[in-house]
Structure formats: C-alpha cells, structure tokens
A and B are shown apart, each in its own frame.
Chain A
Amino acid sequence: MRYMKSALLITIASILAVVFIMPLLWMVSISFKDDIEAILPNLNVIPDNPTFANYSNVLTGGELNVPILRWIFNSLFVGIITTILVVTIDALAAYGLARLDIPFRKTIFSIIVSTMMIPSIVWFLPLYAEFNSLGLIDTYWALILPYTAGAFGVFLLYQFFSSFPKEIEEAAYLDGANKFQIFYRILLPSAKPALWTLAILTFMGVFNDFVWPLYATNSDEMRTLTAGIAIMTQGSYVNMPNKLMALSTVATIPVMVIFLIAQKSFVKAVTQAGIK
C-alpha cells in the first residue's frame, strides 16, 4: 500500500515537473539553434544543426565588445555581499523585535512591514537623487546599499523566530547567558533553514534586478549582468530568440549554481533541525 501511494505521488510530481521544466528546456534548446531553425514553430528539443555560435557571440561581448565577464563578476559580487549583509542585519532585527524588550517594538515592526506595501516607484527618484548628491552613483555602494532597507527578510524571520519554543531560551537565560550569546548559539543554529531560504531569495532578487542597477550605474565596467543584457537586447533580439535565449541561459546559470550550492547547506540544515 505504501508503495502504491509513493508511486502515485511520484507520478503526479513527475507530470508537474515536466510541465515546469518544458519552457526552460525550450529556452536552452533554442539557444543552441541556428537563426533559421530558431523561429520555426517546431517542438523538437534537439536542434537540427546545433551550434555554439550564439554562446560565443554572447560570451565575447557580441559586436559591442561589452565586458561581459566583468558584468558577471559585478553581479556575483553585489549579490553575495548584499545577501550576507541583509541576512545578518535582518536576523538581528527580527530576533530583537520578536523576543527582546525593545521599546515600541510592535509599532516599529508594523511600520517596517507596512513599507512593504508601498510600490517602490514612490521613492525611486528620491533614492536616485540621494545617491547622486552623495556622489555614489556608479559605485558598488549604490548597487548594494538600497537592498539593505528591505523589509521582506525582517518580516519572514520574525514569523519564524516567533514560532520557536521559548523554553530553551529561558533555560539559557537562567544559566546566565546574555542576549547575544543566546541569539548566536541557540537561535541561529535552529534557524538555519530559514536563514538559507532568505539568503537564496535575497541573492536571486538582487541578481535578477535590472531596473535599479541600470539607473545606479552609467559606465560599462560597473554594470551588472542583467542591466548589461538589457542594453544589448532590448528592442532587437525579440525576434532573434536564439541569441536572447543564449543570453538568458548565461544570465541564469550563475543564479542556478548558487541555488544548488545553497541547496546543499539548506538540506543539511533541514535535516539537522529535524534531529532537534
């Protein structure tokens, strides 16, 4: 009986997996097609004349000789630094607001969460003007700092931390531990899955954002990958799907790699947490 149930679940999951992965397979397969086959309405995943031309075109910066490797570095650098910063300060803040005696903590928390509901266009222009007047446009500061104000991580971790059982913390207090020790040695380890989740989502959000990086930089060397790609493709490759797909695959690979690496830690964290 258990095997039947397992088999049924695996079947359902597999059908869904096929539906989810098809568009991505199409994307990759089109990226290997030549210009003529790329626009034909056929469904075959294996190209008739597979070619690396699209990729070599993209990776050498195309005809514009763009510094694509530098862009990839920028995106990775900004993504990783931002993620580390965000996860750190959000975890501290969320724990403080959830568990400690911060004055007006309920009010502060409500304000933080309510800013999530304001569309970013309201402060987009003033934010740009702020960095401009500080002379920080076209620097890594401009690419990293705005994301540290995001309320999402604080909200997410607050919900997780609030549902942790208090007994362990209380025992530790009685043992004479101070707040930071409790946070560092007890709470963080149990919160690893949530922290890794936040890290993954933050990294992807930052990496894939192209609007703000586009406005925050104006020199070729400082652009991020997504912003740079927009410069090469908007308005043109719409009908040259193979080039666009090659670009997209190149842009997606770093994110996927990070996700897979983070997955390992995520899984370890999940299984460890289960052994509580």
Chain B
Amino acid sequence: MSWLKKTKGIVVAALLGASLMVAGCNAKTSGDASSSPTSGGKQEFTFWTPFSGPDGPFMKKIVDDYNKQSNKYHVKFQIIPSGEYYKQVDLALSTGKKRPDLMIMHVDQIPTYQKKGQLQPVDDIAAKAGIKKEDFVEAPVKYATIDGKWYGIPLDIHPLVLYYNKDLFKAAGIDHPPTNREEFIEAAKKLTDQSKGQWGYVVPTLWPQQFIFPTIVGQNGVKLADEQGKPRLNSPEAVEALTFLKDLVYKYKVSPEKVAQDGEVTLFLQGKNAMQLNGPWMKDQFDKAKINYGVAPVPQLGTKQQAVQAGSHTFVIPKDVKDSKVLEGIGNFLKYVAGHSIDWAQSGQAVASKQVLASDEFKKLTQQQTIVAQQFDYVQFNPPVINWGAMTTDLYKQINLVLLGQKDPQKALDEAQEKALQVK
C-alpha cells in the first residue's frame, strides 16, 4: 500500500516536472500578442473571432489561404465561443497582455468600445493598404464612423430574412412568398391546419425577437431610440408592432401558444412550421435537415416603409496595437479579405464588400445570399447608444410575457421604457 503511494508520488513529481517543461515551452511559443513574434521570418499577429458555429470553418479557410499566399505575414486565428466572446474580449482588453491584434466586433458594439477608448481609428491603415470606404456597403461604414474617424471595416451584413417551406406553400396553393402584412396574414392562415399540427408562422417568444421586433418597429417608421440616444421603447408604433405579433398567436391563430426557446426552429425543421423569420446563419442547419426551403426578403409587416434589422461583423483594432509592422500586416490581410470574402459568402452570409457583391461568383451562389444583399438598401442596426444591450434586457423580457399572453403590450412597453431609463 505504501509502495503504491510512493510510486504515485514519484509519478506525480515526474508529471509535474514534465508539465513544467511543456508549460515553459508553451509559454514561449504561444506568443505574447504585444511583442508580436515572428514565425519563420513572417510577421505574426492574432485575430479573434466569435465564429463558434458552422461559419467558423469558412473564415478559417480564408485565413489559411491568406497565410499560404503571403510571404510577409502570418495570421494566428482564434475562435472563441460566441456566448463568451465579449467577456473574453473585455478581460483581455482590461488586463492588456493577451489581447488580440485584430478582432471581429459586431457593429453595434463599436460605439460602446469606442467611447471607452478601446479602439483605434483605421483610416490610416486602410489608406496605406488601399482600402477605401466606398469599397463597402454604406450602412455599416457610416455607423462605424464616429466623430469623423472610421473604426470598423465591415465583413458582412446579416439581416433578418424570411425562410419558407416550399412544399407546404405548394400544397396550400400559394405561389409566391408574401411581401406585405395582408399577404402575410392570408398566407399564414392558409398554411395553418391545427388538426395536422401545422402552423403558418410560429412566433418565437425569446430569441430572435431581438431582430424581429425592431424590424417591425422600423417598418412602422420609427426607431427605438431618439436622436439624443434616449430610449423610446413605448411609442405608439412600437406598441402597434408588438400587438401585431401578439395577434398572430391569439387573434389570427397562425401560431401555437407557449412557444419555448427555439420552438419555432424545431417545428420548422420538422416541416410543421411554414414560415420563419431568422438570420442567414440558419442556412447550414436547414440544408442539413433537407427541408425544401426558400428564402425571401422580409415582408413589410409594418405600416409605413421597408426596413430590416441587421447585424454586421466588422474588423476592429484595439487601441494598444502600435507596432507599425503589425498594423501593416493587418491592413494587408484586410485588403485580401475584402477581395476574397466570397469564401465567407459560402457560409450563407452576404458580404459587405462591393467588389465581391458584384462578382459573378457571388451571383452564382444559391439564392440566399443575393436575397440577403437585396435588403441592404434599407438595413438598420441597433441604435448607437452606449449600453444598449443592458437598456433593452427588460424590453425582451416584457415582450416574452406579452407573446405568452401574460401581459398587455402597452403596459409591458411602458415598464420596459421605465427600466431602460434606469440604466446609466
């Protein structure tokens, strides 16, 4: 017995010693971002992304291809789980040592991080690398330009789209996806057959209402915040939008009640839900489930105009990146991406680079990407208000209650407005 313990002790000591050596080796080669080591003569820099989903491999391909063709620079590519991304970013930026040189940031986060002095303007790098603002779709560039300085080079724009089940549409005798509210309600009603457990449009009560609700509000002609950056969550237009969503469940009955998280997606995948409003990132899953689905622009469900809520992945550079060689490398890489982001489009995203949008290869891609790009003229992002996420946490809880039939829309939005004003 004690012999066993003794050998255990030796094993432990040996393992600890080995781990020390391995750890020492790792500490050297894993590279401290701020000192930007070179690998085989090439200038290295780190690039962080939140692409922990099916789109990750597509970005990896772009990075690998770039590394192969570049004899001056090498990109170290890191994927961070999307749910933990901003926590890790915050930690890295605040402690300084292990921060990335280049990273992806959602465009609506830029105002907050810029205000806290965490980002540096990319005007100079872009100019040196030959990247111009006009190379990209206007909306995200405009959004990312604060006080005359440009902070984020866009990769893609991902707005809401309409997914519909072509088989169910055919069976119900509907020949084209709806384009406005009346057509939408009519189609949904035709596609609903409760005896078969089939629904025209299942209304989600949690995610992705963060895209759906602002879309309809925008289509009603207003934004969720005013020009001064104060929230306006309970405008009559907002109440109208929320009431419409609620009516889909309780008045028009095209959706089951008590839909839980992702319930509408599961039903769509099972062929029991005819229409779904979601983002282009769902493409991969629908492909794999072999649903005969079609993609269309989001119908104008609001009363005033076309609008669609979108997010956008942009490239930003943390403030402390000072090494001119690294910055040059970043510029070089970004120029490459702008010209080669067709690979990114393969993942179902619509890219922001005008050059790629206009190319034949892009047009040849399955209809999704072109449909997505069609909506670029009227995309809207979250209001550029600091801590918008925290301000609207309660909003989506209230929306959840309304759609579960547990609260009145006006009251809900009034409360959400009150809570939003409490956030500094």
Contacts and interface: CB of A to CB of B under 8 A. Distances in A.
Contacts of A140: 19, 22-23
A218 B31 CA distance: 10
A237 B52 CA distance: 10
A85 to B, nearest CB: 8
A234 B83 contact: yes
Contacts of A136: 23, 27
Contacts of B98: 132, 137-138, 218
Interface residues of B, number: 47
A104 B94 CA distance: 39
B81 A240 contact: no
A164 interface: no
Contacts of B270: 39-41
Contacts of A235: 50, 52-53, 81-83
A272 to B, nearest CB: 11
Interface residues of A, number: 44
Contact of B8 (A36, A64, A84): A84
A139 interface: yes
Interface in B10-52: 12, 15-16, 19, 22-24, 26-27, 30, 50, 52
Contacts of A48: none
Interface stretch (A110-118, A200-208, A225-233): A225-233
Contact of B56 (A39, A41, A64, A211): A64
B269 A230 contact: no
Contacts of B2: 184
B176 interface: no
B316 to A, nearest CB: 18
A175 interface: no
B389 interface: no
A151 to B, nearest CB: 22
Contact of B78 (A77, A81, A189, A218): A218
Interface of A: 35-36, 39-41, 62-64, 77, 81, 84-85, 125, 128-129, 132-133, 135-141, 184, 189, 211, 214-215, 218-219, 221-222, 230-240
28 contacts: A35-B289, A36-B289, A39-B266, A41-B270, A62-B57, A63-B56, A64-B56, A84-B8, A137-B98, A138-B27, A138-B98, A139-B26, A140-B23, A215-B87, A219-B26, A219-B30, A222-B30, A231-B79, A232-B52, A232-B56, A234-B82, A234-B83, A236-B52, A236-B55, A238-B262, A239-B262, A239-B265, A239-B282
Given A218-B78, A218-B98, 7 more contacts: A64-B56, A136-B23, A136-B27, A137-B98, A222-B26, A235-B82, A236-B55
A-B pairs with the 10 shortest C-beta distances?
Answer: A236-B53, A63-B57, A139-B23, A234-B81, A235-B82, A230-B81, A35-B288, A140-B19, A219-B30, A39-B269
